[in-house]
Amino acid sequence: MSRPSAFDPSKSRIYVSTPVNALVEGIYEQNVPLSDILQHGDFGLGTFNDLDGEMVLLDGQIYRVAGDGTVSLVRADTLTPFACVTFYRSMSYEHSPGELTYAEFQAWLTRLMPSPNLFYAFRIEGEFTQVRTRSVPKQENYRPLVEVAKEQAVFDFAHVTGTLVGFFTPAFMASVNVPGLHLHFLSADRQQGGHLLECQVKQVRADIQFLYTLELALPRNVDYLLWDFQRDIRRDLDQAEK
């Protein structure tokens, strides 16, 4: 595995704007503008108020992949109920060992992580034989995410060049962030994207950032403050994200 120039690990942190369990339960409205999110990172993913599309934050630019598949830049005063970001700096990288199925791709990324008990940011760029993504239409507040996911729009792209943006979260952090690998896709021409469901890799480079510090913001709105979060949401989260 190759290593870029030296980087101070103390600056390598992940910022989560609200615990993901709030999103899973259906709290889709928060008073957090994207301008605030950009104070904490230039790279990441999330969604928008009313669950109105998938978010991709790449090189300081925020893109929305809408429920109809269209991609657009988003204004900084747009509100988000959930975002996960970092100031991205590659700490190591590796080129894919030839063409990979989705299972082989996941196994390869897993091998690049020395421990399952850390956070990692992944920036994966290159050529894909096939990419399948999803987005969801705008929703009413309080509808559980697992129900919304049943109405997701699925998009298939063939022979496409682009970037996967995302994170690995340890399993024991499932109430804070999506556990395991969570990736969003954006094509090189910025015309296609969404939450990654599966892909086939032709040739890519995976850059990895080790994230040693977690910064978690807790919402102050009434919905969050009065909600009973005792329910185990892991099964719902697994179904909704796949």
CATH (domain of 57): 3.30.1330.80
Does 78 fall in a domain?
A: yes
> For each of the chain's 242 residues, which pLDDT tens digit applies?
655 555 666 679 999 999 999 999 999 999 999 999 999 999 999 999 999 999 999 999 999 999 999 999 999 999 999 999 999 999 999 999 999 999 999 999 999 999 999 999 999 999 999 999 999 999 988 888 888 888 899 999 999 999 999 999 999 999 999 999 999 999 999 999 999 999 999 999 999 999 999 999 999 999 999 999 888 777 776 776 76
Distance CA 192, CA 65 (A): 8
Establish if 3 belongs to a structural domain.
no
pLDDT in tens, 121-130: 999 999 999 9
Q: Could you tell me the pTM of the whole model? A: 0.93
Tell me, yes or no, whether 1 lies in a domain. no
Nearest-Å Rg of the Cα atoms of the chain is 17
Domain assignment of residue 201, given as a range: 9-241
Tell me if 51 is assigned to some domain. Answer: yes
Residue 145 maps to a domain: yes
Asked whether residue 2 is assigned to any structural domain, the reply reads no
User: How many domains is the chain built from?
Assistant: 1
